[in-house]
Amino acid sequence: MVAQDSALISFLSGGVGGIAAVAVGHPFDLVKVRLQTSTAESMNGSVFRIMQRTVASEGIPGLYRGVSAPLLAVSPIYAISFWGYDIGQRLTKMMRKDGDESPMSLIEISCAGGISALPTTVVMAPTERLKCLLQTSGTKYLGLLDCARQVYSVGGVASLYKGTVLTLARDIPGSIAWFGTYEIMKRELAKLQGVEDPSKLSSIAIMVAGGFAGMACWGVCIPPDTLKSRFQTSHEGQYKGVVDVYRHIVREEGHGGLLKGFRPAMVALPPTLTVDSARKAQPLT
């Protein structure tokens, strides 16, 4: 019963923290996706300058176009990720020699983190598809349900899951980088603070660890994320496949085009870490 209560509290606190993080971070995500999918002059300038232009043309609600999709999905995604990480831990421990009960190594933690991204894709891929369309399509859709209906009418479930491979290409290495870096930073900060158990670190230390983990994650994620955003918002037949998206971006914009969106992702880290630190403080091992 105690274990069940603890799991429920962890899920609820993670859900609330995730919703708060979405609310704070969505304007930055909107800028990221629009940078990744547009070459218009309105996308030139600093992140906050682009936000100012968005507010001037669409009002403050314009910064939150598409927010309904991640708001609805964040709690189930967190729950599935929590479950996936547990499965990942079990699978990595199965590779050990019999009787080895030592704490998980950095490699094992990173692998478990990568495994956790697999089941979340079931929810993440269609969520990202609808979110990106709502963020970049102006008034074409009346809302989330209308967007889902129109997308489904074009190609059924397969259309909703357009970009799934690229979602996996982003989230698996991103999760490996996040979990690995987060654990490294926790251990190093524990040494600096003279704390034996990294899970007992101060909130500030947890935020610092999360900040470095976030930078490592997005450093790995941005190229496949750019490909994903471009592919998921493309009209039917625009690209022949994932490789064609890559070739098109490199041909038209150079390899630098694959890094679009890195700035808003970095700028979003401090505010989202502030509201999400409680969830990130949950022990991983």
Residue scoring higher pLDDT (155 or 274): 155
Q: For 96-112, what is the mean pLDDT?
A: 86
- Tell whether 162 is covered by a domain: yes
Percent of the residues in the chain that have a pLDDT greater than 70, as a whole number: 89
Position 101 scores a pLDDT of 78
Residue scoring higher pLDDT (175 or 194): 175
How many CA atoms are closer than 13 Å to the CA of 227, on its beta-carbon side? 23
- Tell whether 248 is covered by a domain: yes
Position 193 scores a pLDDT of 87
Position 5 scores a pLDDT of 55
- Tell whether 124 is covered by a domain: yes
Position 88 scores a pLDDT of 94
Position 45 scores a pLDDT of 81
Residue 281 predicted with pLDDT over 80: no
Mean pLDDT score of the chain: 88
Q: Which domain holds residue 211?
A: 2-280
Position 284 scores a pLDDT of 47
Residue 109 predicted with pLDDT over 70: yes
Residue 105 Cα distances to 113, 115, 206, angstroms: 12, 15, 19
Q: What is the CATH number of the domain that holds 268?
A: 1.50.40.10
- Tell whether 111 is covered by a domain: yes
Contact 201, 209 (CB under 8 A): yes
Q: For 21-35, what is the mean pLDDT?
A: 94
Whole-model pTM: value is: 0.88
Which residue shows structure tokens 């399509």?
A: 137
Residue scoring higher pLDDT (282 or 171): 171
Position 19 scores a pLDDT of 84
Contact 13, 248 (CB under 8 A): no
In SS3 terms, the chain reads as: CHHHHHHHHHHHHHHHHHHHHHHHHHHHHHHHHHHHHCCCHHHCCCHHHHHHHHHHHHCHHHHHCCCHHHHHHHHHHHHHHHHHHHHHHHHHHHCCCCCCCCCCCHHHHHHHHHHHHHHHHHHHHHHHHHHHHHHHCCCCCCCHHHHHHHHHHHHHHHHHCCCHHHHHHHHHHHHHHHHHHHHHHHHHHHHHHCCCCHHHCCHHHHHHHHHHHHHHHHHHHHHHHHHHHHHHCCCCCCCCCHHHHHHHHHHHHCHHHHHCCHHHHHHCHHHHHHHHHHHHCCCCC
Position 283 scores a pLDDT of 47
Q: For 56-67, what is the mean pLDDT?
A: 95
Q: How many domains are there within the chain?
A: 1
How far is Cα 9 from Cα 229, in angstroms, rounded to an integer?
Answer: 34
Reading the block at residue 250, the tokens are: 């490199």
Per-residue pLDDT band for 269 (boundaries 50, 70, 90) equals confident
- Tell whether 285 is covered by a domain: no
**Predicted confidence (pLDDT) per residue in 111-164, tens digit:** 999 999 999 999 999 999 999 999 999 889 999 999 999 999 999 999 999 999
